[in-house]
Structure 1
Amino acid sequence: MKKLFTYVVLAALMLVVSCGEVNEMVDAPLISELKTEYYVKQGSKLELEPNVVNDKNAAYVWTLNSQEVSKDKKYTFSPETSGEYKITLTVANNGGEAVHTINVSAYPKYKYGTFVLAEGNMTNETGTLSFIDHNGNAEDSIFIKANDGKKLGNTAQDLVIANGNLYIVSQNGTRNGGLGRLVIADAGTAELKAVIDEGFSGMTTNIAVPNDKYAFVVQWNGPMYIVDLVSNKVTGKVETTNRFSKMEMVVIDNNVYAAAGRKLVKVDGNTGDVLKETEMEGQIAGVVKTHANELKVLVTGAERVIWTISKENLLKLARKSLYDISVSSMMKRAFDAEAKSNAGFFILGNKGWSPGLITYTSADAGREIFSLPSADFPDAGMFYGPFSVNPETGNIYFGYVKGYGPDYLNNGVAVISPDGKKIMDYNSKNTDVAKRIDTRFCAGIYFTDPFSPHKSN
């Protein structure tokens, strides 16, 4: 009888437990703290960690473009290529399931930031290309890395970002194993697209790309070549007796503005015809356009003047005399416009026989904002290469070397604020790779447009 009673009690307990399991109410999961859209850089890491309510005994499933990639609560996504991706998280338990879909747009790794072009040692090296992203992190030698060791031309000189491409011109082309005088690469990945070497002669130094049909390449103290970007061939020269300067050119409204000694020449970007030319009272030391597409020309000689020039007919509209400011004649661009201003300019001036100071000028008298030597940049023995003003932040970037001879291996890119204060020193000897750039004889510093992804959203 006792045994029978024991069996009955155990059976009743089992029934209660069983019924409790069947009747237990479980709420479906709820997912939060995940956005539905993300905009990330190619190769970066996107850490996805949702906050899920009612996830006891729940199963997690992550899919990437409909393919299962993880069953963990957290998921890290790193896009190897740019493009559009769809990530779906499903969390399920006995009470139901929750689904959250994320659209990820991965932009090319070099879409936003600063390209730094270096000449390399003319005798035994080639040009190199580095990049600083909009967060200030540097990556050295990006072209070589993206192209299995292929090299830019010898003594790289100038770069243009246009049509989703990088157009990089070098002075000596195939010397020392370089690819050629004009290298075209994808602006987002630095992957090689084309090389144009035949048809040039002399030392090619500067390039302008007004549209997707033509590029214009200057030979130092020589002609301007017309390059057909459809056939990737040099098809002729601009018909003029002018001998063009080693100086950066400007593109405004599909027209190219170039210096030829004392002359400013306007070339039609669709035909290569010379539309207009005007002679200045001295040697042209720089041609720039402001953020409002105004054309400014710096002239040296008996008097130093910044002219505002009509972009239509090259008439001289206004002048600003630089009575107390020296101007370097050793750079292919000795001045640049202040960010978001039509009246302010930074000018690279001589200190002794070589470029050694940066001055600022506007409606008021000019003032020195930075000079070498500088305790903030102890390895910057001398400026090397044109300096550039970031059009978004207003910061000033310039290349430097410690000196000639073996000291050229100690080099870098300096970044200062508009009032001359140190922002960053990307020195070639820096132990932090994210702050190291080996720019052996800086050829130029070029900003993407827009500089920051935050500006485009």
Structure 2
Amino acid sequence: MKNQFFSRQLLAIASLMILTVSCNNDDNFTAPPVINGQQQLKDTLTIGKTLKLSSKLKDRNNVSFEWAVDGKVVGSDSTYVFKSETRGDFKVTMTAKNDGGKVSLTYNVLALGAYENGFFMINEGWFGHGTGTVGFYRYDTKAIEDSVFVKANPGKDLKPVSSTLEFGTIFNKKLFLVSKVGGPVVVADAYTLKEEKRIPAQGGNDWRAVVGIDENQALLTSGKGIYKLNLNTMALNGQVAGITDQVGDIVKANGYIFALSASKGVIVMNSSTLAVVKTIPGMVLGFAVTDDKKVWAAGGTNLISIDSNTLTVTEIPLGFQAYGSWGAWHPGSITAAKNNVFIAKNGSWSGGKQVYKYTGTAASLTTPFITLTNSNILYGAGIGYDRLKNTLVVNTVNEGFGANFAINNLYLFNADSGVKTDTVSFSGYYFPAVSVFQQ
């Protein structure tokens, strides 16, 4: 009995001790840090710019911080200012610690090239008064930056002043700038705009457009046929046989090259042998390539599609006369959005006020998709499709002559609805040629 008494007493004392320790632990317990919201976030910035990132903790008291970029520790404050001088994807991780534990937050940051977050505006320039220029419309500021090529390349130019910058395209992450009337062909990095190579300006040059065949070779159209271009050396390796007249727009789809000739219409070539396999006469306007790999052109009062697998041609009544621009060449006023085709109803050279959208039915060509108001008219190609934003980009000047050409408007329309989403008005004798979009 005595032993049982002492056992019970010891058990009670032990229980009291355990209860006391437990209560003391509850009083001293520290909860680990807690993050507000999701623990993985995405941000985008242009290289050279800064992005301030926060820890997003509910309570920062008695918390230590560690920031790491791609595993390398870079900071210990509650916030971190990220800046990158190189293009790419970065993983920025914040780890917060206290006596109760730790928690992490990850930002996936995409650093875009200096000229990636927007599109290029290729301007032919005022003939005889200065060279063409390259502008850049930036998505985040919704503003146009002027003369970005010469700003990115001090000491470089697009002279002579007698030339006109008429065409641009992006191929293999390179921006190609093509000048008429003695001007150069320039290749620049599509993200930094730094010049890498060029065909120098020279009397007798009369280039139109360029298309890449593969990473080593391209075709360059001109006032006197099509030239073979070595992309590594920028050397010309002769001409495509049998084509000696003015050739303008040119595209590649599947195993074929499609070129628009002033005298022969559409010329179709095998992309490997460059042998001409088909011609489609009467076509004066091209090209658009839809997602189904059909190539679109127009001539007379017909829009045509060319199946790039079989080369079968389908005619669609357009309802109005299609015009080219051989007298003062500029890229064609036609573009594709997914499997739809936008085509401008231009005058005999340019200057239209209506854009039609062909969606696969005759009814879609009965009324314009967009009709410009006031004194606005299309200039140059006039229309382009920005796939990244699903936007129809429209360039206009005022109708008339002289000072009217210095009144410019850039319009952005939703490519599905036709709703105008932005307008930028600006002054100067730019004479817009074509818009070029990142791919």
Q: State if a TM-score over 0.5 links the two structures.
A: yes
| 2:115 counterpart (110, 114, 122) | 110
1:305 and 2:309 aligned: no
Runs of 5+ unmatched residues, structure 2: 1-23
1:297-336 aligned within 5 A: 297-300=297-300, 304-312=301-309, 314-315=311-312, 317-322=313-318, 324-330=319-325, 332-336=330-334
Alpha-carbon contact 1:240-1:274 (below 8 Å) kept: no
Q: For residues 138 and 350 of structure 2, what CA distance do their matches in structure 1 show? A: 35
| Cα pair distance change 1:420/1:30, threshold 3 Å | closer
Aligned to 1:228: 230
1:346 and 2:336 aligned: no
Aligned to 2:131: 126
Q: For residues 339 and 99 of structure 2, what CA distance do their matches in structure 1 show? A: 63
1:210 and 2:225 aligned: no
AA aligned to 1:231 is T
AA aligned to 1:290 is T
Aligned to 1:426: 424
| Cα pair distance change 1:111/1:210, threshold 3 Å | farther
Q: For residues 106 and 277 of structure 1, what CA distance do their matches in structure 2 show? A: 45
Q: Which runs of 4+ in 1 moved over 6 A?
A: none
1:58-457 aligned within 5 A: 58-64=63-69, 69-95=74-100, 97-100=102-105, 102-111=107-116, 113-134=118-139, 137-140=142-145, 141-148=147-154, 150-152=156-158, 154-172=163-181, 181-197=184-200, 201-220=204-223, 222-245=224-247, 247-261=248-262, 262-271=264-273, 273-280=274-281, 282-300=282-300, 304-312=301-309, 314-315=311-312, 317-322=313-318, 324-330=319-325, 332-337=330-335, 339-341=337-339, 344-350=341-347, 354-361=351-358, 362-364=361-363, 365-372=365-372, 374-375=373-374, 380=376, 383-391=379-387, 395-402=391-398, 404-418=401-415, 420-429=418-427, 440-449=430-439
Could you give the per-residue CA deviations for residues 133-171 of structure 1, whole angstroms, max 9, x where no partner exists?
455723413322322363345411111211111111111
Q: For residues 54 and 214 of structure 1, what CA distance do their matches in structure 2 show? A: 60
| Cα pair distance change 1:55/1:390, threshold 3 Å | closer
| Cα pair distance change 1:406/1:39, threshold 3 Å | same
Could you give the per-residue CA deviations for residues 238-261 of structure 1, whole angstroms, max 9, x where no partner exists?
11144133x321211253210112
AA aligned to 1:389 is Y
Q: For residues 352 and 298 of structure 1, what CA distance do their matches in structure 2 show? A: 14
| Cα pair distance change 1:439/1:68, threshold 3 Å | farther
| Cα pair distance change 1:426/1:151, threshold 3 Å | farther
Aligned to 2:17: none
Alpha-carbon contact 1:114-1:445 (below 8 Å) kept: yes
Helix, strand or coil for the counterpart of 1:143? Answer: helix
Alpha-carbon contact 1:399-1:439 (below 8 Å) kept: no
AA aligned to 2:208 is T
Alpha-carbon contact 1:39-1:107 (below 8 Å) kept: no
1:57 and 2:52 aligned: no
Could you give the per-residue CA deviations for residues 56-81 of structure 1, whole angstroms, max 9, x where no partner exists?
23333434466665443222323232
Alpha-carbon contact 2:333-2:380 (below 8 Å) kept: no
Could you give the per-residue CA deviations for residues 333-365 of structure 1, whole angstroms, max 9, x where no partner exists?
5543552225x5433332999433323444225
1:38 and 2:42 aligned: yes
Could you give the per-residue CA deviations for residues 398-440 of structure 1, whole angstroms, max 9, x where no partner exists?
22223543443332322234565433222225xxxxxxxx681
AA aligned to 2:77 is D
Could you give the per-residue CA deviations for residues 378-406 of structure 1, whole angstroms, max 9, x where no partner exists?
6x355343422344655432222235434
Helix, strand or coil for the counterpart of 2:149? Answer: helix
| Cα pair distance change 1:439/1:84, threshold 3 Å | farther
Q: For residues 397 and 444 of structure 1, what CA distance do their matches in structure 2 show? A: 10
Alpha-carbon contact 1:339-1:392 (below 8 Å) kept: no
Helix, strand or coil for the counterpart of 1:144? Answer: helix
| Cα pair distance change 1:439/1:131, threshold 3 Å | farther
Matched length: 400
Alpha-carbon contact 2:124-2:131 (below 8 Å) kept: yes
| Cα pair distance change 1:205/1:136, threshold 3 Å | farther
Deviation at 1:32, TM superposition (A): 4.9
Helix, strand or coil for the counterpart of 2:242? Answer: coil
| Cα pair distance change 1:190/1:400, threshold 3 Å | same
| Cα pair distance change 1:423/1:30, threshold 3 Å | closer
Q: For residues 216 and 226 of structure 1, what CA distance do their matches in structure 2 show? A: 5
Q: For residues 320 and 141 of structure 2, what CA distance do their matches in structure 1 show? A: 32
| Cα pair distance change 1:36/1:150, threshold 3 Å | farther
Q: Under a length normalisation based on structure 1, what TM-score does the superposition of the two structures give?
A: 0.75
Deviation at 1:293, TM superposition (A): 0.7
Helix, strand or coil for the counterpart of 2:241? Answer: coil
Helix, strand or coil for the counterpart of 1:145? Answer: helix
Alpha-carbon contact 1:39-1:105 (below 8 Å) kept: yes
AA aligned to 1:116 is M
Alpha-carbon contact 2:283-2:297 (below 8 Å) kept: no
Could you give the per-residue CA deviations for residues 198-244 of structure 1, whole angstroms, max 9, x where no partner exists?
78834211111122111111112x12111101222112111114413
Q: For residues 82 and 425 of structure 1, what CA distance do their matches in structure 2 show? A: 29
Alpha-carbon contact 1:87-1:101 (below 8 Å) kept: yes
- State the identity as a percent: 21
Q: For residues 210 and 168 of structure 1, what CA distance do their matches in structure 2 show? A: 17
